[in-house]
Chains A and B, each alone.
Chain A
Amino acid sequence: MLDDVSGFGGFPFTVARPRRVFTGFRPLEHRGCSQVGRGIPLRQGAFSMTTARFAALASLLTLALLIGVLAGGSAISPGAVLYALLHPRAEGDIATIVWQLRVPRVAIGMVVGASLSVGGALLQGMLRNPLVDPYLTGVSAGAACVIALAILAGVAAPVLPALGFAAGLGTAVLVAALARRGSGIDPTRLILAGISISALFSAIVALAIARANSLDAAQSILAWLAGSMAGHGWTDLRFCIPYLVAGFALALLAVPALDALRIGDLRARAVGLNVDRAQWIILAATSLLAASSVALAGMVGFVGLIVPHVARRIVGSDARRLLPASALLGAALCTVADACARTIVAPSELPIGILLAFIGVPAFLYLYLHSEFAS
């Protein structure tokens, strides 16, 4: 239409074409590929592009993992690290450092990043709210509260992750119970209950810090709050694996539901989705994933909020692509961030939660103030 107008001879004004806002990686089906499909959204033309994007994300993760094992407090040459990696049964200091410190730590970074990102994507999708992160259901606040009290009570450090996990999950159950309506969950109630319970527990944490009788105890609590993968190894990872597996399996189960929920609860019900059941599955998946990552690394902020948004720009909002993309991207981000946390001020460490906030806040502001997602 606008082209017709500007086609008038001597029309004195340039008629603007609709301005195309740069949206990063646009979903690709737009580029006039054939209408005949081979998958609800994955069409032939789009298929290879999607594959290419996933290949890029996978190589990003590989690169991140490599950076993760190569970076560290003690200077070991990359060659020696790679030799140790390829010879798991080798003896010696380097092998011990690589296999007992770096590899579990990189694995934890990967798992935490993937869990939080998938949890965020699930909850954002279910609540159709872009500002939600997987801690919304009180997982982090509940875990922090119990861990703070446990530290004050002098509970041994190795017990803390399990305690944090149980407390996080318990809080999520409490919040879900408060948000229940009929056989389903009321999204507004879930957000309100989550925020209120989190505020209450945060106040208890603040009280615990203020009343801590030793500086050490206060610092231990603060370290948990800032998030860090320091001091966690295979034992913690082994403890969390069953819950992580359950969380990811439930996430997989929720994929079609998440797609249908994009058109609203009411219409999703009309196309035959059991919305109530889907909500419980999604909530259970998110809580398991978030509680596991809290047990492994404390409060790692912003990953669960930001990564789903970035992933959505790369592969679109279809859950079949969004969840795997979020997992890959979150794993890569956390691994690299942890590598930075270990090396920037080596030999001491920065809390990864704080480092991610430094990256996360500007990224978040950019996404929201300069994008069409804002509308």
Chain B
Amino acid sequence: MIELRDLTLAVPGRTLVREITATIDAGEFVAVLGPNGAGKTTLLRTMCGIAPVAQGEIVLDGRRLQTLSHAQRARTIAFVTADDAMTGSLRVRDLVAIGRFPYHAWWQWQATERDNAAIEQALDAVHMRDDAQRLFSTLSSGERQRVWIAMGLAQETPVLLLDEPTSHLDVRVAHEILALLRALARRGHTVVCVLHDLNDAATYADRLMLLGCERMLACDRPSQVLVPALIERAYGVAVHRIDTPDGPRVFAASS
């Protein structure tokens, strides 16, 4: 369970979001929505402890995030992003193996049976087992996203934070990944995921957290959040809403 208490996010020179208060339960899939620059990525980075907390606090199962050591934190929260520099010619399996880093002291160079089991399981979960020996540089965007997710899974954390795991992906791969996240939540993981597609978010997530206007505008079930008035407030775009058996859908209206 993650509790955000009066959390204020800031980057140098600018406050992004003020006073977010929310509780995310184990087994829940929460999608974070909002316009560019609203603080979605910063929220995720702050929640996994790699960006500083400007104000307020983050509490994980009753323990404040700041009190955890680097390794403890990485054994609790995995952060998946496609947005960072990569070097060298790494093979898929070796990359996923780096997810086991928090389980090793610096002198423990050899993998344990547990490491190997976690790596194989993570590769299986994203259907990359057959590609384990491929070079990362030869993978497609969708495969790369799956590798990053596998690295997060190999960390074996109860909490998974994902920054736009479906960007650059075609419809089918995007849905596979969202279905995978849905399944992980069902197995008890807490999944918090930044998404851009409002309708994808409504289809797969339990709750949507909408950021905009320097605050959290909503954090509720999709039918309560995909409301034209709220969406227009956050994005400044008028939308039409249609209710389908899969949940609400919104479409930008012509101005």
What is A's interface to B at a CB cutoff of 8 Å? 27, 29-30, 32, 35-42, 128, 130, 253, 255-257, 259-260, 262-267, 269-274, 312, 316-318, 320, 372-373, 375
CB-based contact B99/A35 at 8 Å: no
Per a CB cutoff under 8 Å, which of A32, A264, A272 touches B84? A264
Per a CB cutoff under 8 Å, which of B86, B120, B137 touches A263? B86
Contacts of A267 in B (CB 8 A): 79, 81, 84, 151
Question: Which residue, of A35, A272, A373, has the highest number of chain B Cβ atoms within 10 A?
Answer: A272
Contacts of B91 in A (CB 8 A): 27, 29-30, 41
- Judged by a CB distance under 8 angstroms, whether B235 is at the interface is no
* Docked CA distance A128–B89 (Å): 12
Query: What are 18 A-B residue pairs whose CB atoms fall within 8 Å in the complex?
Result: A30-B133, A35-B93, A37-B116, A39-B111, A40-B100, A40-B119, A128-B87, A130-B87, A256-B104, A259-B101, A266-B81, A267-B79, A267-B84, A267-B151, A270-B48, A272-B74, A273-B70, A318-B94
**Size class of B's contact patch?**
35 or more
- Judged by a CB distance under 8 angstroms, whether B98 is at the interface is yes
* Docked CA distance A50–B132 (Å): 19
Residues 87-121 of B at the A interface (beta carbon under 8 Å): 87-91, 93-95, 97-102, 104, 106, 109-111, 115-116, 119-120
Contacts A40-B94, A265-B84 aside, 5 further interface pairs with beta carbons under 8 A come to: A41-B91, A263-B90, A267-B79, A272-B102, A316-B89
Per a CB cutoff under 8 Å, which of B75, B85, B109, B133 touches A320? B109
- Judged by a CB distance under 8 angstroms, whether B73 is at the interface is yes
Given the known interface contacts A256-B109, A271-B155, the answer about A41 and B81 at a Cβ–Cβ threshold of 8 Å is no
CB-based contact B71/A272 at 8 Å: yes
CB-based contact B86/A264 at 8 Å: yes
Question: Which residue, of A36, A262, A265, A271, has the highest number of chain B Cβ atoms within 10 A?
Answer: A271
Instruction: Please give me the residue from chain A that is nearest to B103 by CB atom.
Output: A272
B231 to nearest A CB, angstroms? Answer: 30
Given the known interface contacts A318-B94, A372-B89, the answer about A271 and B111 at a Cβ–Cβ threshold of 8 Å is no
Per a CB cutoff under 8 Å, which of A36, A130, A263 touches B95? A263
Per a CB cutoff under 8 Å, which of B50, B70, B110 touches A266? B50
- Judged by a CB distance under 8 angstroms, whether B201 is at the interface is no
Instruction: Please give me the residue from chain B that is nearest to A274 by CB atom.
Output: B70
Q: Is the interface of A mostly helix, strand, loop or mixed?
A: loop
CB-based contact A273/B101 at 8 Å: yes
Given the known interface contacts A30-B133, A255-B109, A272-B101, the answer about A262 and B50 at a Cβ–Cβ threshold of 8 Å is no
Contacts of B95 in A (CB 8 A): 263
Contacts of A32 in B (CB 8 A): 133
Instruction: Please give me the residue from chain B that is nearest to A42 by CB atom.
Output: B110
Among all A-B residue pairs, the 9 with the closest Cβ atoms: A272-B74, A264-B84, A272-B102, A270-B79, A317-B88, A40-B97, A128-B87, A40-B111, A271-B101
CB-based contact B74/A270 at 8 Å: yes
Residues 27-46 of B at the A interface (beta carbon under 8 Å): 45
- Judged by a CB distance under 8 angstroms, whether B5 is at the interface is no
B173 to nearest A CB, angstroms? Answer: 17
* Docked CA distance A27–B78 (Å): 29
* Docked CA distance A256–B107 (Å): 8
CB-based contact B98/A271 at 8 Å: yes
Contacts of A36 in B (CB 8 A): 116, 120
* Docked CA distance A162–B55 (Å): 50
